[in-house]
Structure 1
Amino acid sequence: MMRHIVLTLGLLLGSTAPLFAQDNSDPAQPALLVADSVFVEDSDRLVATGNVEALHDGIRLSATQITYDRSTNELQIEGPVRVVDQSGTILTADYATLDQEFQNGLLTGARMVLDQQLQLAAVEARRVGGRYTQLSKVAVTSCQVCEHSATPLWQIRATRVVHDQEERQLYFDEAQLRVLDIPIMYLPHMRLPDPTLKRARGFMVPSLHTSTLLGSGIRVPYFIPFGDHKDLLLTPYVSPKTKTLEFRYRQAFVKGDIQLTGALSKDTLEEDQLRGYLFAEGEYELPRGFKLSFDLNAVLDASYLNDYNISSQDRLLSEIKIDRVRALEYTWMDLAHLESLREQEDNDTQPAISISFGSERRFYPSSIGGELRLTGVAHAHYRYSSTPTDGTDDDTDVDGRDVARFNGEVSWRDRWTLAGGLRAGVSTHLWLDHYRTEQDDTTDDIVSAATPGVAIDFRLPLQRTWADGGRSLVEPIVQYGWVGGERPNNPNDESTRVEFDEGNLLALSRFPAQDRREHGHQVVAGLRWLHKAPTGWTAAMTLGKSWRDIEDTDFTRSSGLSGLTSDWLVAARYTHPSGLSLSARGLLDEDAEAAKAEASATWSNKKLDLTASYLMLVADPDEDRDDAQTEWTFETTYRMTPYWSSNYEVRYDLSDERLDRLGLGLQYQNECVQVELAATRKYASATNLEPSTDFDLTVALKGFSTGGSAKEYRRTCAH
Structure 2
Amino acid sequence: MSAAVLLRFCVLVLTAALIGTVSVQPAFAQDSTAEQTQDDPALLVADEVFVENEERLVASGNVEALQGGIRLSATRIIYDRSTDTLIIEGPIRITDADGNVILADEATLDQGFRNGLLKGARLVLDQQLQLASVEARRVDGRYTQLSRVAVTSCQVCGHNATPLWQIRAKRVVHDQVERQLYFDEAQFRVLDVPVFYLPHLRLPDPTLKRARGFLIPTFHSSTLLGFGIKVPYFIPIGRHQDLTLTPHLSTKARSLGYRYRRAFAYGDLEINGAISSDTLKPGEARGYLFAEGAFRLPRDFKLDFDLKLTSDASYLNDYDITGADRLSSTVDLRRVRRDELITASLVHYESLRDFEDNDTQPTIIGDAAIERRFFPAALGGELRLSAAVHGHYRYSSIPFDSADADLDVDGRDVGRISAEASWRKRWTLAGGIRAGVTTNLWLDRHMTFQDNTSVRDVARATHGVAVELRWPWERTGPRGQRTVIEPLLQLGYVSGQRPGNPNDESTRVEFDEGNLLSLSRFPAADRREHGGTVAAGLRWMHQAPDGWSAALTIGRIWRETADTEFTRSSGLQGTASDWLVAGRFAHQNGLTLSARGLLDDQARFSKAEARAGWSNNRMDLGASYVLLVTDPDEDRLEAQSEWSFDGEYRISQHWSTSTSWRYDLVDRRLDRVGLGLQYQNECVQVDFGATRKFASSSNLEPSTDFDLTVALKGFSTGGSAKEFRRTCQH
Letter matched to residue 487 of structure 2: P
Question: 61, 84, 97: which one pairs with 1:73?
Answer: 84
Separation (CA, whole Å) in 2 of partners of 1:112 and 1:690: 53
Match of 1:169 in 2: 180
- Asked if 1 retains the 8 angstrom alpha-carbon contact of 2:326 and 2:351, the reply is yes
| CA spacing shift, 1:12–1:601, aligned 2, 3 Å | closer
Deviations 1:166-188 (A, max 9, x none): 11100000111111111111110
Q: Which amino acid aligns with 1:596?
A: K
* Residue equivalent to 2:195: 184
Alignment match, 1:90: 101
Match among 538, 544, 548 for residue 533 of structure 1: 544
- Counterpart pick for 2:434 among 407, 423, 428: 423
Q: Residues 333-412 of structure 1 correspond to what in structure 2 (within 5 A)? A: 333-412=344-423
Counterpart residue number, 1:307? 318
- Cα offset, 1:44, TM superposition: 2.7
Matched, 1:453 2:471: no
Pairwise CA distance, 1:395: 4.5
Deviations 1:343-365, CA, capped at 9 Å, x for gaps:
11111111111111100111110
Moved more, 174-183 or 88-97: 88-97
> TM-score, normalising length from structure 2?
0.94
Give 1:574's aligned amino acid: F
Q: CA contact under 8 A between 2:313 and 2:699: conserved in structure 1?
A: no
5 Å-filtered alignment, 1:132-151, equals 132-147=143-158, 150-151=161-162
CA distance in 1 between counterparts of 2:335 and 2:100 reads 49
Partner of 1:7: 7
> Could you tell which deviates more after superposition, 546-555 or 67-76?
67-76
Q: Shift in Å at residue 72 of structure 1?
A: 2.1
Aligned mates of 1:567, 1:388 — CA distance in 2: 37
Match of 2:17 in 1: none
Note the C-alpha offset of 1:103: 2.5
Contact 1:5 1:36 (8 Å CA) reproduced: no
Is this contact kept in 2: 1:6–1:33, CA < 8 A? no
Conserved? CA contact 1:117–1:195, under 8 Å:
yes
1:205 maps to amino acid: I
Q: Would you say 1:432 and 2:424 are equivalent positions?
A: no
Determine the C-alpha separation between the residues in 1 that align with 2:561 and 2:37: 89
- Does the 8 A contact of 2:672 with 2:691 survive in 1? yes
2:211 corresponds to 1:200:
yes
TM-superposed CA distance for 1:69, in Å, is 2.2
Secondary structure of the structure 1 residue equivalent to 2:725 = coil
Change (3 A) 1:28 1:641: closer
Deviations 1:341-400 (A, max 9, x none): 111111111111111110011111010101101111001111111100001223441000
Query: Does residue 1:511 correspond to 2:522, yes or no?
Result: yes
Q: Which residue in the other structure is 1:225 paired with?
A: 236
Distance in 1 between residues matched to 2:655 and 2:646, nearest whole Å: 17
Aligned to 1:128: 139
**Maintained 8 Å contact 1:306/1:312:** yes
User: 106, 121, 125: which one pairs with 2:117?
Assistant: 106
Amino acid of the residue matched to residue 183 of structure 2?
Answer: F
Normalised by the length of structure 1, the TM-score is 0.95
How has the CA–CA distance of structure 1 residues 647 and 84 changed in structure 2, closer, same or farther, with 3 Å as cutoff? same
Within a 5 Å distance, the mapping from 1:445-594 to structure 2 comes to 445-594=456-605
1:240 aligned partner: 251
The residue type equivalent to 1:703 in the other structure is G
Aligned identity (percent) is 65
2:272 aligned partner: 261
Q: For residue 21 of structure 1, what is the aligned residue in structure 2?
A: none
Is the 8 Å Cα contact of residues 10 and 31 (structure 1) preserved in structure 2? no
2:424 alignment counterpart? 413
Check conservation: 1:596, 1:617, Cα contact below 8 A.
Answer: yes
Name the residue aligned to 2:342. Answer: 331
Alpha-carbon spacing, 1:25–1:531, altered in 2? closer, same or farther (3 Å): closer
Relative distance call for 1:621 and 1:73 in structure 2 (3 A) is same
Cα separation, 2, equivalents of 1:491 and 1:395 = 13
In the aligned structure 2, how far is the partner of 1:188 from the partner of 1:622?
69
Residues 12, 70 of structure 1: 8 Å contact kept: no
- The whole-number CA distance in structure 2 between the counterparts of 1:182 and 1:375 is 73
What is the match of residue 51 of structure 2?
40
Tell me, in whole angstroms, the C-alpha distance in 1 between the residues paired with 2:37 and 2:416: 73
Paired letter, 2:238: G
Q: Which amino acid aligns with 1:122?
A: S
**Counterpart of 2:411 in structure 1: which amino acid?**
G
| In structure 2, distance between residues paired with 1:108 and 1:517 | 85
Q: Residue deviations 1:4-60, cap 9 Å, x none?
A: 9992246999xxxxxxxxxx9999889864322122223332221012234579754
Greater mean deviation of Cα atoms: 461-470 or 567-576: 461-470
SS of structure 1 residue aligned to 2:359: helix
Shift of 1:553: 1.0
Instruction: Look up the match of 1:657.
Output: 668
Relative to structure 1, the CA distance from residue 103 to residue 53 in structure 2 (aligned partners, 3 Å threshold; closer, same or farther) is farther
The answer to whether structure 1 residue 51 and structure 2 residue 89 are counterparts is no
Structure 2: unaligned runs, 5 residues or longer: 14-33
Work out whether residues 5 and 35 of structure 1, in 8 Å CA contact, stay in contact via their aligned partners in 2: no
| 8 Å CA contact retained: 2:354, 2:699 | no
CA distance, structure 1, for counterparts of residue 328 and residue 415 of structure 2: 20
Deviations 1:554-609 (A, max 9, x none): 11100000111100000000001111110000000000000011000111000110
| 1:686 is aligned to 2:693 | no
Q: Does residue 1:628 correspond to 2:606, yes or no? A: no
**Aligned equivalents of 1:151 and 1:11: distance in 2?**
39
Partner of 1:644: 655
Amino acid at match of 2:8: T
Alpha-carbon distance in structure 1 between the residues aligned to 2:185 and 2:35 = 46
Query: In the alignment, is the contact (CA less than 8 A) between 1:5 and 1:34 conserved in 2?
Result: no
Secondary structure of the residue aligned to 2:723 is coil
Distance 2:485 2:42 in 1: 76
For 2:141 and 2:44, the matched residues in 1 are separated by 20
Deviates more, 1:644-653 or 1:56-65: 56-65
**CA-atom RMSD, angstroms?**
2.0
Q: Distance in 2 between matches of 1:12 and 1:661?
A: 66
The alignment covers a number of residue pairs equal to 706
Q: Is the 8 A contact 1:278 1:298 kept in 2?
A: yes
Q: Please tell me whether residue 610 in structure 1 is matched to residue 621 in structure 2.
A: yes
1:165: Cα distance to partner? 0.7
SS in 1 for 2:514: helix
Amino acid at match of 2:247: P
Whether contact under 8 Å (1:7, 1:34) holds in the other structure is no
Equivalent residues of 2:510, 2:570 under 8 A apart: yes
Alignment partner of 1:101: what SS?
A: helix
Deviation, 1:688, is 6.4
- The residue type paired with residue 202 of structure 2 is R
- CA distance in 1: counterparts of 2:10 and 2:157, whole angstroms: 42
**In 2, Cα distance between equivalents of 1:57 and 1:608:** 44
Are the counterparts in 1 of residues 6 and 57 from structure 2 also a CA contact under 8 Å? Answer: no
Is the deviation greater in 335-344 or in 67-76? Answer: 67-76
User: What is the CA deviation profile of residues 631-662 of structure 1, one whole-angstrom value per residue up to 9, with x for unaligned ones?
Assistant: 01000000011111000101001111100000
Question: Post-superposition shift, 1:154?
Answer: 0.5
Q: 1:267–1:25: structure 2 CA closer, same or farther, 3 Å change rule? A: closer
